Amino acid sequence: MLHPFMPHITEELWSLLELGEGSIQFAELPKKIPLDDVRDLAGKRQLVSAIYQTIQAGRNLRAESKMPSNRKIRFILRIDEKLISSQISTLTRLLNAENVELNPEYQAPAGSPVAVTPLGEIFLTVVAADRAGERQRLDKEIARIEAEMGSVSAKLRNKSFVDRAPAAVVEEHRQRLKGFTVQLEKLKHAREGLN
């Protein structure tokens, strides 16, 4: 529709998006959208939303497992293949995955990172070499958090600190201790999952 008014822009978009062979000026005119396609828009919208939520869950799994975002890893989706088999390349690219496998019968090893999505369950596969490195990293992180907790709780046990420090500082230390406790619980849970 824009081509007669802005041919240089539409030609550039045509070539960048690789919408067809050659020049846009030799392309066919747009065709009417069949009514069936319009009626199915709600279903397609739900599918796109479910795919988006699956991608978000996969990225969260990667972040929680402390896998670098630039590293190619494998994901397995336990869902019906017919549902999104045409969207595998999109999922692979947006998850920055080595590949995304669809397997409705997949039985995950104990401790595998998993998230439930509208499409089904998404698993992050962690190979044995990654597990050893991840265990070491988690052990270091647990030790660091425990040291921080010890420091903060020692201050809070010190009566002169609690009496002399401003109430806001004491409250901040209490909040830090709560945050460290939650963090430590998550790290220990993740560490147990790698055994």
For the chain, the domains span: 43-126, 130-193
> What pLDDT was estimated at residue 148?
92
> What pLDDT was estimated at residue 157?
93
Give all strands of the β-sheet with 97-102 in edge-to-edge order: 97-102, 73-78, 120-124, 114-117
> What pLDDT was estimated at residue 38?
61
The set of residues, in sequence order, having a beta carbon less than 8 Å from that of 33 and lying 6+ positions away, is none
Q: d(Cα 131, Cα 111) in Å, to the nearest integer?
A: 11
The set of residues, in sequence order, having a beta carbon less than 8 Å from that of 168 and lying 6+ positions away, is none
Q: d(Cα 70, Cα 66) in Å, to the nearest integer?
A: 12
- Render the burial of 91-106: b for 16+ CB within 10 Å, e for the rest: bbebbbbeebbbeeeb
> What pLDDT was estimated at residue 4?
67
Q: What CATH architecture is 43-126?
A: 2-Layer Sandwich (3.30)
Residues across the chain: 195
Mean pLDDT by 10 residues, the chain (195 residues): 72 79 76 65 81 90 82 86 78 89 81 79 74 76 91 93 91 91 82 72
Q: d(Cα 178, Cα 128) in Å, to the nearest integer?
A: 33
CATH annotation of 130-193: 1.10.287
Name the CA radius of gyration of the chain, rounded: 26
